[in-house]
Structure 1
Amino acid sequence: MTSILTPLIILDVQDAIDQPRWNGKNNPGYLAVIQRLLAHWRGNGWPVLHVKHDEANPASTYHTHGPWNAIKREVAPIAGEPVIVKQHNCAFIGTELDALLKGMQVRRVVLTGVVIHHSMDATVRAGKALGYEIILPADATTAVPVAGDAGKSWDAASVHELTLAILAGEYAEVVTAEALLVG
């Protein structure tokens, strides 16, 4: 399922995700899963790309000059691994990600990161529209609770499960990390 032409993309895994605004995450082991995938990709010499969110709004935990903007040390890039900086919810909008993937002659990517119903959803949908095959390891991402305007709330596990169900098939191939590690 994976090959040298299937980059691993790590999206928005920054210190910001551990701030109180993002409390209530499901799948607390998502970071360890991403670390396993990252070690596997690096061990095979396969391409790894990091996407870092730089938010202009100073109130955001992802604020460009804020104290939590750094990529988490557990998945920090090493020499030769590109870092794509985004300012929008989608990693393809206003960035060089599409050009970089085209330059690598890539048609398929493995997407990991946070948060499944925010930037990951937007990136999956845009990537599919651009013609990429998106592989989405469900256990290498997380969700947070969602509260609607009418007062209805959904817990993070339900949000995660529903978002993956919506993306599966039409937009992405939803798998487990284990399938990628042994496949």
Structure 2
Amino acid sequence: MDTPSSCIPLIVLDVQDAIDQPVWDGKNNPGYVSAIQSLLVHWRHNDWPVLHIKHDEPTPTSTYHTRGPWNAIKEDVAPEDGETVIIKQQNCAFIGTNLDAVLRSMGASCFVLSGVVIHNSMDATIRAGKAFGYDIVLPADATTAVPVTAKNGKRWDAATVYELTLAILDDEYADVTTSDEVIARYSKDRP
């Protein structure tokens, strides 16, 4: 991960108004948006690349439905002029999109991933990104989880889902860290 910071894009995944609808209630880590905002401020201040992944779900009952009322990227993390927005329709940001081509055109071998939710689109994107050969930095405070209920009715609370998913991903698939550590690591003032 010694790539220059200017070649390390920050990706903000699926942070849309949809995530605040009742079907997604019970999220842990309520400060995840603030952590993403801190990362965005740092990346924008340094003129580093920011990519936004927007989920356009074809299923009409989804809160992320393409023409649904909650499809917009949350205003708190909305793209600024010149920032790339990539549209996806699958849980993985690499499937059916040009994300890999965009990253390769930047010369990126690594990216910082933030967004929602850790055990769904984040997990799928991390695993695919690793399979494509990318090093992935995952600031744990810049993501969240929701409770999961199995078909047999067994339920896991969001904190358990979050902690277990991060533990599974750490080291083998991603470098799990914090937003503060990412900002310190990728600083122009760093010796």
TM-score range, shorter-chain basis? over 0.9
Normalized against structure 2, the TM-score is what? Answer: 0.94
Give, in whole Å, the separation in 2 of the partners of 1:63 and 1:128.
28
How far off is 1:172 after superposition? Answer: 0.3
Q: Counterpart amino acid of 1:58?
A: P
How far off is 1:51 after superposition? Answer: 0.1
Which segments of 5 or more consecutive residues in structure 1 lack a partner in the other structure? Answer: none
Deviations 1:36-56 (CA, angstroms, capped at 9, x unpaired): 000000001110000000000
**What does 1:112-151 correspond to in 2, within 5 Å?**
112-151=114-153
Give, in whole Å, the separation in 1 of the partners of 2:83 and 2:153.
43
Which segments of 5 or more consecutive residues in structure 2 lack a partner in the other structure? Answer: 186-191
Matched, 1:50 2:37: no
Q: Counterpart amino acid of 1:113?
A: G
Normalized against structure 1, the TM-score is what? Answer: 0.99
Give me the CA root mean square deviation. 0.8
Report the 3-state secondary structure (helix = DSSP H, G, I; strand = E; otherwise coil) of the residue aligned with 1:143: coil
Q: Counterpart amino acid of 1:100?
A: V
Matched, 1:18 2:54: no
**What does 1:1-183 correspond to in 2, within 5 Å?**
3-183=5-185
How far off is 1:151 after superposition? Answer: 1.4
Report the 3-state secondary structure (helix = DSSP H, G, I; strand = E; otherwise coil) of the residue aligned with 2:113: strand
Q: Counterpart amino acid of 1:71?
A: I
Identity of matched residues, %: 68
Q: Counterpart amino acid of 2:16?
A: Q
How far off is 1:180 after superposition? Answer: 1.0
Give, in whole Å, the separation in 1 of the partners of 2:143 and 2:19.
12
Runs of 4+ with deviation above 2 angstroms? none
